[in-house]
Structure 1
Amino acid sequence: MSEQGKLTDVIMPQLAESLVSATIGKWLKKPGDTVEQYEPLCDLITDKVNAELPSTVDGTLVELLVEEGETVSVGAVIARIAVPVAGGSAPAGEASADADFAHTATQAAYGTVPAGTAPDADAPMRARYSPAVQTLAQQHNIDLTAVSGTGLGGRITRKDVLAYIESGAANRRPVRTAVAAAQPAAPSAAPSVQPALQIPPAAAKEMLEPVRHSGLHLSESPRIPTIEVESGQGSSSEYLIDVTPIRNTIATRMRQSVSEIPHAWTMIEVDMTNLVQLRHKLKDDFKRKEGINLTYLAFMMKAVVSAIKDYPIMNSVWAVDKIIVKRDINISLAVGTEDSVMTPVIKKADQKNIAGLAREIDELAQKTREGKLRLDDMQGGTFTVNNTGSFGSILSYPIINYPQAAILTFESIVKKPVVINDMIAVRSMANICLSLDHRILDGVICGRFLQRVKDNIESYTPDTKLY
């Protein structure tokens, strides 16, 4: 028992069955800070995703037992929180997190500064929301773009949302789109809430206009990495970039894939004209009904899944003295973030229709880019699909997602003159590239597989159903 209350241990949680340790990326609180239940204490870095470790109790952070950058085994005590005895808080034994923690696996974000500190004018962390903040916003139907953040880098904390609710502003303003102009909240006894930034009409119009692109299925501008660097010693002509744990894991897996798997590569050209017309016909109704974009990837993934059902050897792994063919078709979807590539998994993709695949693709891509992936989202993949055409690529040689047997990329859809019945016609064409594990797969089986994918894509008609 400390002077501040009963001490509660903060335990390194079991994030997943396959993980036995995690690295402390950054402490978001320091000794002496007051913490609330569900408020993030630190960033955890694993081989697959980054996660925030939330507090399970209200109290005061008393002691940090682990330094930033230190790797800790599951079950180890990493900090202690003093819980006021009079508050009737849960005993220390209940402070350890369990597998349910996985839903808080958000990408690493920097925490809050002590109360009363002015927010960073540039607000680089404003759009990074913790699970507690998101839950409150959903419960009270709050547009978080209207809430002023007092956390480090302008980040919105749970206290900010509660102050916004107490001010009554949440009941006076409807939920708005990201480009709607913000109206200032009325003053009240609660902490003052600054209005959201006003967006000029010209900027708002620009945000609503379609992006320019070179490929027909590029839906957003390619993301450019934002990396913190430090100057190289003794030279102004170079700088150093620290290798993050996730980047180090990617390097290890890629090196393992290239060194252990004898890669081979093949490609086929597909006429996408019918698919382009079908998507154009259905996309507006689908957007109104589902609230998400109907992308080409959903149609092409359906074609791949159907082909894997015809050639199940594509859905296998090498096990030295045997080849293991997976019964479930779990498609790993390569999604690029600002500083890495993640491969969340669409489980049992063969049991989903085109609309179901479109929903899964949109959800996983959004969760990946917002740093909200759970560890379960990253596990169990049996075959990888990559939409390299989304940034204009027309030809690529992908590295296999170890230990899978193959990876397939869809390249950009471009209009080309082609010969049909001895006549030249302009058609929408795309390349499909396949890298294969030559220990398991040979050219014949992969050629037939790609031909089946091609046939499936070219067989789409105006009467094809999404559901």
Structure 2
Amino acid sequence: MSDNTTLTDVIMPQLAESLVSATIGKWLKQPGDPIEQYEPICELITDKVNAELPATVDGTMAELLAEEGQTVSVGEIIARIAVAGAAPAAPAAAAPSPEAAGGSSAPAASGTAPQTHSAAARPSAPAPAYDAAAPMRSRYSPAVQSLAAEHGINLVAVPGTGLGGRITRKDVLAFLASGAAAQPAASAPPAAAPAPAAAPPAPPVQVAQPDMRDELQPVRNSGLHLSESPKIPTIEVERGRDGMSEYLIDVTPIRNTIATRMRQSVSEIPHAWTMIEVDVTNLVVLRNKLKDEFKRKEGINLTYLAFLMKAVVSAIKDYPIMNSVWAVDKIIVKRDINISLAVGTEDSVMTPVIKKADQKNIAGLAREIDELALKTREGKLRLDDMQGGTFTVNNTGSFGSILSYPIINYPQAAILTFESIVKKPVVINDMIAVRSMANICLSLDHRILDGVISGRFLQRVKDNVEGYTPETKLY
């Protein structure tokens, strides 16, 4: 390592206020690999969602201090990046920031809190004092980074209201709404010049970072593909005396969370369930009529789930109590209808959320379903994608199921499953006809919902689904 090479610590960020640790899922960079700023260097697994950790500087991966599968506490160093040449100028600009902004100024926009230390600079390195003053200020979530890059916002100028001075997504949106984002972006380079104690070249580099991220974003790769054998869970083979083998699979944080929430759901919620049979013949005709044109226009498949979700959302409008949670001494009815969509992967089930689903038409719901399903299976869900759900819909019919008893997505009041469409002989006006039929199953929290209201809700869903005609519009 040359004398002018600086090592930058990569620290485990706090991806959400409730998270105190994360697991290294997979290292995307190995020692000796070149790294570009904002390029993902590893995948992090939490009990809520997977996330990529981007680099804060250009350089070369020097060493990995945490192994794949290791759970690391927030704030611990997990790797070091070697930065050569003029790169050490960036930490110099961070030195006067605590004096000018009370220690709340952040370095590069990233999910890590870099601390720069070289053999020559260690005695006077300002990084420890900076972290002590604002430990969370420089730890940006992927959602914050993405939003800042999209609007060209320099996160150094955004006030943070989160834990430890951390900048949240709401802070970025408030900063954007205030109109302060455009002015600093245009005037940042000349405004940075008067700073007497800072290295002059550093501020313009920070302002340019969002643009660099935009250029890099299209070629970013999650590094995780379903065709690969993931590092987690690991499988161990234990041989008994008789020569038989047992396969031991490590419980991942996501699987542990699923187990915890399912146990909490069945132990705290008095489950009841009911089912109704629906004639979807008209829906099948409608979808077959529109699916090819929709595929050409939108580039995605038009599934039955989008029609069902529209029918469910319309029924929830008529029966708002379905959109509620139990709060011991009261029942909280949610104003927004945010539909959690159960999406299965090879090793887990995730429930990303379609926000304000009642404000979307069938085509809009179809786009949201396709986008969230793709992000789930590619491991690219953000924490924001998983939060705020008020009612869950699951398409168990995609597996050929005709009847199921779903477990409620705690703490919601109900979950609905759409079963497989099967052609059956049905009696209509004392005559037998072959119709496309499907079962819709509803599990309900009996503390909140009773048979009458649940039955009426299911009947309304049935009426909405059977009300589709070949003239129904998608937009």
Q: Give the alignment's TM-score, normalised by structure 2.
A: 0.70
* Cα separation, 2, equivalents of 1:137 and 1:29: 17
* Cα separation, 2, equivalents of 1:152 and 1:274: 40
Q: Which runs of 5+ in 1 are unaligned?
A: 106-131, 145-150, 157-225
Q: Is the 8 A contact 1:4 1:82 kept in 2?
A: no
Report the equivalent of 1:229. Answer: 235
Q: 1:49 to 1:89 in 2, by over 3 A?
A: farther
* Cα separation, 2, equivalents of 1:84 and 1:434: 60
Say if 2:354 is the partner of 1:346.
yes
Q: Deviation string for 1:363-397 (max 9, x for gaps)?
A: 11111111111111111100000000011000000
Look up the SS of the partner of 1:384 in the other structure: strand
Report the equivalent of 2:332. Answer: 324
Superposed, 1:391-402 pairs within 5 Å as 391-402=399-410
Q: Deviation string for 1:175-201 (max 9, x for gaps)?
A: xxxxxxxxxxxxxxxxxxxxxxxxxxx
Say if 2:389 is the partner of 1:381.
yes
Report the equivalent of 1:336. Answer: 344
Superposition deviation, residue 440 in structure 1: 0.8
Tell me the amino acid that sits aligned with residue 328 of structure 2. V
* Cα separation, 2, equivalents of 1:279 and 1:104: 39
Q: Deviation string for 1:207-237 (max 9, x for gaps)?
A: xxxxxxxxxxxxxxxxxxx975332133433
Q: Is the 8 A contact 2:323 2:337 kept in 1?
A: yes
Q: Deviation string for 1:424-450 (max 9, x for gaps)?
A: 000000000000111111111100000
Q: 1:52 to 1:377 in 2, by over 3 A?
A: same
Q: 1:264 to 1:252 in 2, by over 3 A?
A: same
Look up the SS of the partner of 1:446 in the other structure: helix
Say if 2:324 is the partner of 1:283.
no
Tell me the amino acid that sits aligned with residue 57 of structure 1. V
Q: 1:313 to 1:2 in 2, by over 3 A?
A: farther
Q: Is the 8 A contact 2:224 2:378 kept in 1?
A: no
Superposed CA RMSD in Å reads 3.0
Tell me the amino acid that sits aligned with residue 140 of structure 2. A
Report the equivalent of 1:101. Answer: 142
Q: Which runs of 5+ in 2 are unaligned?
A: 95-106, 112-138, 147-211
* Cα separation, 2, equivalents of 1:319 and 1:388: 29
* Cα separation, 2, equivalents of 1:412 and 1:104: 41
Say if 2:422 is the partner of 1:422.
no
* Cα separation, 1, equivalents of 2:473 and 2:27: 50
* Cα separation, 1, equivalents of 2:377 and 2:274: 30
Report the equivalent of 2:57. Answer: 57
Which is richer in helix? 2
> Bigger shift: 96-105 or 369-378?
96-105
Q: 1:370 to 1:31 in 2, by over 3 A?
A: closer
> Bigger shift: 399-408 or 35-44?
35-44
Q: Deviation string for 1:157-185 (max 9, x for gaps)?
A: xxxxxxxxxxxxxxxxxxxxxxxxxxxxx
Q: Deviation string for 1:36-81 (max 9, x for gaps)?
A: 3233332211012222212111223344444544433434433332
* Cα separation, 1, equivalents of 2:298 and 2:29: 40
Q: 1:67 to 1:104 in 2, by over 3 A?
A: farther
Identity, % of aligned positions: 83
* Cα separation, 1, equivalents of 2:140 and 2:298: 31
* Cα separation, 2, equivalents of 1:250 and 1:416: 36
Q: Is the 8 A contact 1:399 1:407 kept in 2?
A: yes
Report the equivalent of 1:74. Answer: 74
Look up the SS of the partner of 1:284 in the other structure: helix
* Cα separation, 2, equivalents of 1:80 and 1:227: 26
Report the equivalent of 2:413. Answer: 405
* Cα separation, 1, equivalents of 2:473 and 2:253: 44
Q: 1:404 to 1:152 in 2, by over 3 A?
A: closer
* Cα separation, 2, equivalents of 1:245 and 1:451: 39
Superposition deviation, residue 331 in structure 1: 0.2
Q: Give the alignment's TM-score, normalised by structure 1.
A: 0.71
Count of equivalent residues: 362
Q: Deviation string for 1:392-436 (max 9, x for gaps)?
A: 000000011111010000000010001001110000000000001
Q: Is the 8 A contact 1:265 1:435 kept in 2?
A: yes
Find the partner of 2:262 among 228, 236, 254. 254
Find the partner of 2:300 among 274, 279, 292. 292
Superposed, 1:27-38 pairs within 5 Å as 27-38=27-38
Superposed, 1:239-250 pairs within 5 Å as 239-250=247-258
Q: Deviation string for 1:261-314 (max 9, x for gaps)?
A: 111010000000111111111111111111111111111100000000111110
